Structure 1
Amino acid sequence: MTPDWSPATVLLIVDWVIRIGALLWIPSRTRPAAARSWLLLVGFIPLLGLPLYLLLGHPWLSRRRVQRQAQVSEVVREEQLPLRALRWTPDGGAAFEMAPLVERQGAFMPTHGNAVALLDDYQAAIDALLADIDQAREQVHLLYYLMFDDAVGDAVTAALCRAAARGVCCRLLLDAVGARRGLRRYRRPLRQAGVEVHELLPGGLRWRRSGRMDLRNHRKLAVIDGRCGHVGSQNLADAVFVPGLPNRELVARVQGPVVSHLEAVFAGDWYIETGQRLPYQHDCPVHADDVATQLLPSGPAYPYENARDTVNALIHLARRRIVLTTPYFVPDDATLAALRIAALSGVEVQLILSAGNNKRLTSWAQESYYDDLLACGVRIALYEPHFLHAKHMSVDDGIALLGSINLDIRSFALNAEIGLICYDRGVVARMREIEADYLRHSRALDPAQWRMRPAWRRSREGIARLADTLM
């Protein structure tokens, strides 16, 4: 009997070969939660699911980038050895456990002698950055995920060109995807003015030398003359660069030894992208404010998920109150468990999210977590006046974390991020004031009313949640 090799039969055989191969291959190379989502997609649509998994299923980086990150971390550890007098040693509490964890993962020791000013006003933060660039005398280093071709992009470009004309060494690192419009508009005039411009994680035909196509450098930081730095959630764009959703952000302007650590993060990304080694700044003037800080870099080039581990450790170490502010909340199982345990243990857990969101699928997915969180006592507030793009958390009265880290799987596992940890009651008190202002302009989610939402919304949330590893 002649076998039936009709197109339908061949397609059926290929479908099942893909399904069985995916079942044997994907779970061994992907985390269980992500593997379930990918297997579901491959099971339903094999011919689409397999190529998507090959492109987006594993957060791989090129071997060269991973090796360079390891070299950067080793250099950071070695360069800090002569600066032991700047090390801050916690005398107990949560900081006693947090500081060693963050140092072992991200390489940066906690330092004393810093000043931290929290800038909650969008335009004031832009103005402060422009003023610092205009006062620069030696060098300006900017590393940003997004630079838009708008009034802020024009102003930053003009400030960099003025600085370069004064003989200041200016370098600009921009994410190849997030800053696509800014690179297209400003790269040529900046280079003509003498500013060194490079894109991070370029795609196209070069993606094999970078990594998985959707991995991004999401950091936002600036270092000027080694005397001050800026780090936070704010990009180089107008507050209304997304029409109808004006952003509200939080940026820290810092002085002291932490500035040299920000410089090291920039130099590390510069080296990973270009292969060029920049000199490490050793001049670390101690500031009278004497705030203890520590940098938390994270990303797929590190052996651990630094951001996720730090956030979860902070949640577990809280004894009285945690406030978490994020525009995107699509956590993994470990973070959900940490929040549940904290709330059930009697810790006041307050989650502040944005009522409006520029990513619809993400908004639907994060709503799927509300039932479980509300049931165990987590308070959820939806901020209404703006798109709350700020990313920070405060723990009890002594620890604050802010930067570019979202509380989602993408930020934990796929993006290069930067966080600033402040072990200081004064900084936490200032952050509490900002959080209180958020809450005054937020709508508290009522558990009883939330459970009355229609069934079609529950279904939409559940379907969107299946794509959590891609968000």
Structure 2
Amino acid sequence: MNILCTFISWIFILIYLLLIVFVTIRILMQHRTINSILAWLLVICISPIIGVIIYLTLGELNLGKKRSKCTRNTWISIIKWLNELKESRYIFTNKHSNISKALFNLCRKRQSIRGVIGNKVQLITNTSDVMNAIIHDINFARKNIEMAFYIWQSSGLTDKVAESLIAASRRGVKCRLMLDSVGSIAFFNDPLVNIMRNAGIDIVEALQVSLLCIFLRRMDLRQHRKVILIDNKIAYTGSMNMVDPHFFKKDSGVGPWIDLVVRMEGPVSTIIGMVYACDWEIETGKRILPSPPNKKMISLKKENNYTIQVIPSGPGFSEDIIHQVLLTAVYSAHTQLIMTTPYFIPSDELLHAICTAAYRGVEVKIILPRYNDSVLVGWASRAFFTELLKAGVKIYQFEKGLLHTKSILVDKQLCLVGTVNLDMRSFWLNFELTLAIDDARFGSDLARIQDDYIASSYLLDDAIWIKRAWWQRIIEKLFHFLNPLL
């Protein structure tokens, strides 16, 4: 009996050691930064069993077998669609400002598509104005409406949007709604979902979370895009989820969420439609690729002719594209660089680029919310402040709510707006969408908005910062160590 127990014990020990070796080899073989590799190895060494479980569930960018296969099949049709779209040469351009040229060339090489011209663009900062514009466009929709959001929460103006969608569906407009399973978990338990589905609206729970598939794909991989498409002519994107800030997270103690949304008309809608179609097919297996734009969609009037590059990122799209875009944008700055983000956990490369810009004389401003809804991210962000302040970067802490806007302005010419936070999850994990807009007029509009943010912010003082308590420094260093895992 003792021999049998000893034998079984050794079998378990052998399996345990093989599992540790297997996971260690997987960590070493993955394409990731040295810091990330070392952090994961340390987690495995400190707590092998828990570390292995965490790694197998959160450590690799795994869509799951079914979605991965669907992604490969989808891209076969996407490539064919892109080749056909390139025949519509009148929507593309090679003409860019000196500030934007490197970034647009990067996107052309990595994504096989150029920036598109002939677009009308409107920046909207007031939530009520955004909602009313969406409702107006839905009411005039004739063919199709597609939406994708990380969070949809019923209440206030959001319910008015739902009512407009229901009315549109009942009059024959094809309506599709794709919502993240985690971000919109409360909504999927709302009776309104059945009402909308009974009205004919297709509602898909993207990247559904369940215990059955926890080891089959990465559970914290999220659909983070915020997109609205109407009749393949009008498109919206930006930082705003489908929530009414008068009701959303009122008990979080951070104040109202402050967002920025871009409304567009023109051929850029077709490109965004392609991104949406790819996501929809991965989730449902159904193909809904948009038709190529016609010349009637294009406005060549100077006041409306904006050049836009659509940059989708996430599993299945160009690997590392958004990180490369951000680095290119920062290194393109000659005089001024302004960044706004709610969550600031830059990679070593991006942090180095930002500090280098400040050292070489660029006026660098970073605007962050003073109070964050994520305690962990709030502390992790502070770990970078000392190095940024030393380089001469001005850090502004917004005090009138949770500044949720994601924007970058380079020399008042190159603008990046969309759904991407300056953190690891947006760089290498989530499904995101960014617009690169090469236009001084748009840059001027964005600059005015950022100036308003700065006017409502507290400028962090270097002399006061270095006097912070010792225990704060310890917490910052602790979360700084965890940055590669966030």
Q: For this structure pair, what is the TM-score category when the shorter chain's length is used for normalisation?
A: over 0.9
- Partner residue in 2 for 1:271: 281
Q: 1:165-180 residue pairs with structure 2 within 5 A? A: 165-180=170-185
- CA separation of 1:72/1:265 partners in 2, compared to 1, >3 Å: closer, same or farther? farther
Tell me, in whole angstroms, the C-alpha distance in 1 between the residues paired with 2:93 and 2:202: 35
Contact 1:343/1:376, CA 8 A, preserved across alignment: yes
- Alpha-carbon displacement from aligned partner over 1:118-171 (angstroms, at most 9, x marks no partner): 001122111111111111111111111110132243222211101011111111
Asked whether 1:353 is paired with 2:368, we answer yes
Instruction: State the alpha-carbon separation in 2 of the partners of residues 175 and 20 from structure 1.
Output: 35
Q: Determine the structure 2 residue equivalent to 1:241.
A: 248
Whole-Å separation in 2 of the counterparts to 1:25 and 1:34? 13
Deviation at 1:16, TM superposition (A): 6.8
Provide the TM-score with structure 1 as the length reference.
0.94
Look up the match of 1:137. 142
- Pick one of 204, 207, 211 that aligns with 1:201: 207
Partner of 1:26: 27
1:19-418 correspondence runs (5 A): 22-29=23-30, 31=32, 32-62=34-64, 63-68=68-73, 70-71=75-76, 73-185=78-190, 186-204=192-210, 207=213, 211-239=217-245, 240-243=247-250, 244-245=253-254, 246-284=256-294, 285-287=297-299, 288=301, 289-418=304-433
Give the superposition deviation at 1:283. Answer: 3.1
Helix, strand or coil: the match of 2:220?
coil
Equivalents in 1 of 2:357, 2:153: separation in Å?
A: 40
C-alpha displacement of 1:23: 4.5
Aligned mates of 1:428, 1:386 — CA distance in 2: 24
Report the 3-state secondary structure (helix = DSSP H, G, I; strand = E; otherwise coil) of the residue aligned with 1:82.
coil
Moved more, 176-185 or 244-253: 176-185
Give the counterpart letter for 2:60 in structure 1.
H
Stretch deviating more after TM superposition (81-90 or 58-67): 58-67
| C-alpha spacing 1:11/1:456, structure 2 compared with 1 (3 Å) | farther
**Secondary structure of the equivalent of 1:312?**
helix
Instruction: Show CA shifts across 1:254-300 (max 9, x none).
Output: 01111111211111111111111114222341123111111010012
Per-residue displacement from partner, 1:343-365 (whole Å, max 9, x unpaired)?
A: 11111111111111111001100
Matches within 5 A, 1:414-453: 414-453=429-468
| Alpha-carbon distance in structure 2 between the residues aligned to 1:165 and 1:408 | 41
Return closer, same or farther for 1:357/1:208 CA change in 2, 3 Å cut-off.
Answer: closer
Distance 1:171 1:465, change over 3 A: same
Offset at residue 69 of structure 1 (A): 5.2
1:288-330 Cα offsets, whole Å, 9 max, x none, are 3111111010012224111111011100111111111000001
The residue matched to 2:223 in structure 1 has which SS?
A: coil
Question: Is contact 1:263-1:280 (8 Å) kept?
Answer: yes
Residue type matched to 2:29 in 1? S
CA distance in 2, matches of 1:25, 1:82: 43
Where structure 1 has 5 or more consecutive residues not aligned to the other structure, the ranges are: none
TM-score by length of 2: 0.91
Is the 8 Å Cα contact of residues 256 and 286 (structure 1) preserved in structure 2?
Answer: yes
Change beyond 3 A, Cα 1:210–1:163: farther
Aligned CA-pair RMSD: 2.5
Query: Kindly tell me: are residues 68 and 94 of structure 1, through their superposed partners in 2, closer, same or farther at Cα, counting changes over 3 Å?
Result: farther
AA matched with 1:275 = G
Cα distance in 1 between the residues matched to 2:471 and 2:312? 40
The aligned length equals 471
Task: Please say if residues 368 and 398 of structure 2, whose CA atoms lie closer than 8 Å, have aligned partners that are also in contact.
Answer: yes
Contact 2:39 2:485 in 1 (8 A): no
Identity rate, percent: 30
Q: How many angstroms apart in 1 are the aligned matches of 2:449 and 2:77?
A: 35
Give, in whole Å, the separation in 2 of the partners of 1:415 and 1:395: 25
Is residue 153–residue 182 contact of structure 1 (8 Å, CA) maintained in 2?
no
Letter of the structure 2 residue corresponding to residue 193 of structure 1: A
Q: Secondary structure, in 3 states, of the residue corresponding to 1:93?
A: coil
Which amino acid in structure 1 is aligned with residue 110 of structure 2?
Q
More displaced stretch, 27-36 vs 362-371 = 27-36
Q: Which moved more, 1:17-26 or 1:183-192?
A: 17-26
- Change in CA separation of 1:81 and 1:12 when aligned onto 2, cut-off 3 Å: closer
Partner of 1:199: helix, strand, or coil? Answer: strand
Residues 168 and 24 from structure 1, CA distance in 2 versus in 1: closer, same or farther, beyond 3 angstroms? Answer: closer
CA distance in 1, matches of 2:386, 2:200: 54
